[in-house]
Amino acid sequence: MKSFLIFIAYVCIWTTPFQLIFFLWGLAVVFNSEATVISLTNELFLSEKLPWFYSWLRPFSYFIFPDVLASWIWSIPFTIHVFLKGFFSTWLGLWLLPIAKKMP
């Protein structure tokens, strides 16, 4: 259990740079287009900027989650979603790592 929690903590911490890059990319799209922070949804960003990933991820999300939840996730504003996900993921990793290392 200890090694699993340490692994989860490190994954949460190591993915922070990727989430920061996606956040900055979303802000660049907002500043260089007519989209606003609120109007740039997950669906719009991924379908325009990463269409190969979008074509795989969208059907997969509707397979995993109920349709209402998947539709809600796709309609969340991209920059806000990535910022909150990055913030809480990093916080979780930094909080979990010392706790997991102290476990017997």
pTM: 0.88
Pick from 69, 80, 15: nearest CA to 41: 80
- The per-residue pLDDT for range 69-102, each reduced to its tens digit, is 999 999 999 999 999 999 999 999 999 999 999 9
- The per-residue pLDDT for range 34-75, each reduced to its tens digit, is 999 999 999 999 999 999 999 999 999 999 999 999 999 999
Pairwise CA distance, residues 43 & 51, whole Å: 10
Binned at pLDDT 50, 70 and 90, residue 8 comes out as very high
